[in-house]
Structure 1
């Protein structure tokens, strides 16, 4: 009975073993999607929190402080252990910003044109 429980526990541990080790694609995928979220969700969440805490004018005045959040990926670049993750995070940030900017410019162009 005890050996069956131990075997079950070891097989469950092995199932998530890849999560804890440095898998070659894990840092790239998670870094890229973290960069996407950083560009899209963080400014919106920051604006929402500011709007809850302050009036509209004060929230507008304080919004540029969202740029202080860039200290996080820059700090991740400094540490050797997190450098690969941070590089892919910057790639995700740049690609997302380019896609959002490109789509916004196309929508604006078509709206003005018609």
Structure 2
């Protein structure tokens, strides 16, 4: 009797804790969007910092374009059906973040040169 109750309570707890990543319709969208934002902002900076920490400046500068190889991850996620929705929103987050950064940078540059 106790084992049945324990199994039932574990199943209820698993359902309660597992709802957000199994069936919630906005989970993939929100997490994908913010993962894309982090992918555009934090990944190149972390890669540059790691290269600079481990290698001299000239070598790190030559190896920095290899950060573009990281794009293989979201592209590979687009192929598999289970991760496709997440990857689509990740690309949206990447594009929106890049547009905002480029837009703000161009406005700042415009006002600095114009003034």
Q: Would you say same fold, with TM above 0.5?
A: yes
Match of 2:79 in 1: 78
**Mapping 1:50-65, distance limit 5 Å:** 50-65=51-66
Unaligned regions of 5+ residues in structure 2, if any?
none
Q: Which residue of 2 aligns with 1:38?
A: 39
Aligned-partner Cα distance in 1 for 2:13–2:93: 32
Cα distance, 1:42 vs structure 2: 0.2
Deviations 1:39-98 (A, max 9, x none): 000000000000011001110000000000000000000111111110000000000000
After superposition, residues 82-101 of structure 1 pair within 5 angstroms as 82-101=83-102
1:53/1:24 Cα in 2 relative to 1: closer, same or farther (>3 Å)? same
Q: CA deviation at 1:18?
A: 1.0
Q: Displacement, 1:21?
A: 1.0
TM-score, structure 2 length as denominator? 0.88
Instruction: Find out whether 1:107 has 2:108 as its counterpart.
Output: yes
Q: Secondary structure at the match of 1:16?
A: helix
Aligned to 1:22: 23
User: For the aligned residues, what is the CA RMSD?
Assistant: 1.9
- Contact map agreement 2:21 2:27 (CA 8 A) in 1: no
Do 2:28 and 2:85's aligned partners in 1 also have CA atoms closer than 8 Å?
yes
Distance 2:82 2:9 in 1: 33
Normalized against structure 1, the TM-score is what? 0.89
Count residues with an aligned counterpart. Answer: 114
